[in-house]
Structure formats: C-alpha cells, structure tokens
Structure 1
Amino acid sequence: MRELERKYNVARRTVRRALDSAWPEPRKRLPPQPSTLDPYKAAIDGILLADLDAPRKQRHTVTWTFHRLFEEHSADVFYPMLGRARPLLLRRSRHLPRGATMSGLQA
C-alpha cells in the first residue's frame, strides 16, 4: 500500500478507498455560484431587446455593450465574461414578445 501511495502521490485513505471499491465514488455536486453579470442582466436585457428592432448594422457589439454597461452602470465585469454570456442572452431574448424583459417585467 505504501508503494502505491508513493507511486501515485496520494494519501493512504485514497489508496484504501480505491482498493475497497472497483468504481470510484461519484463526485459531489457543488452549488451553482452566482455570476458577476447577475446584477446587470436587466440592463443587458434592455440593450438586447432594443437591438431586436434595430437594423443589423446598428446593433450593439460586445464591445459597445461592455462600454455602455461600464459608463451607465459602473459595471465591474470583464469583457471576456460578457463575450461568453452574450450569445446565450441573445438567444433567450429572441424568444420573448416585444416589450418584455427576461425577468418578465415590462421595459
């Protein structure tokens, strides 16, 4: 058992559990962590919903959305985070009726 500890650089308990069962224990599910975009989702929703009516060339890019959030709401979000979340938010916003927001409130 000590040879296995040294070879795989693990604790004695880990080796014991591995020897006791052929299948590993299922991983524990962590609770979902809140996103730093959560406080600004209503503002992002408003921007995206307004963009649905705008011509294609006049819609907000990720850069414009990022700058607008920073200037209007002093948002402390990172550009890459907004870039990853925008397609998901955009997909959600396309399925809403006009005048609605993601949270169900009137714009």
Structure 2
Amino acid sequence: MPYSKVEFYAAIRHDARVEGLSSRALSAKYGVGRRTVAMALESVWPAPRNQLPPRISRLDPFKATIDEILRDDLDAPRKQRHSRCPPTPAL
C-alpha cells in the first residue's frame, strides 16, 4: 500500500495505464470509491483538504464567570484537613 496520497494516486494511474484495469476494478483493488479513482486519473496532485472554521466552545459564555470565581477563591482561607478522625466512643 502506498504511503502518501500522491503515491496512492500514482499507483492507481500506473495500474490503469499498465494493467488496463477499469475504474470499477481499481476501486475494488484499492478499497476506495470510483469517484476517488476518477480524481486520481484526472490529476497528479490530490485536491487539498477543506479547512474547517474553528469551533466555538460551549464554555465561552461562562469563562468570565469561571475566572471570577477562581480569582475569589485565591483569597479564601485554606480548608482544614484532619489527618486522623477522633475515636468514636463505645456505646
């Protein structure tokens, strides 16, 4: 199996030219759709991937409130932790 998409397209074009395989046979051999085979036969270079716009976080509306809570928490006294619990009296 070819390593990059360019090599993959080259392998498809090679098999179509040398072995004379049809697009259906090429799609079955490489496990891709016939549209991919047609694009490989049309162009040497694969089409670049579409860039998606950055996704908005669901936390964006609440980030100011969260930051305010965390800033207020910096001034709060430390919470006490007891390493041992006192023994419970026997009844």
TM-score, length of structure 2 as denominator length? 0.47
- The structure in which a higher percent of residues are helix is 1
Higher-Rg structure is 2
TM-score, length of structure 1 as denominator length? 0.41
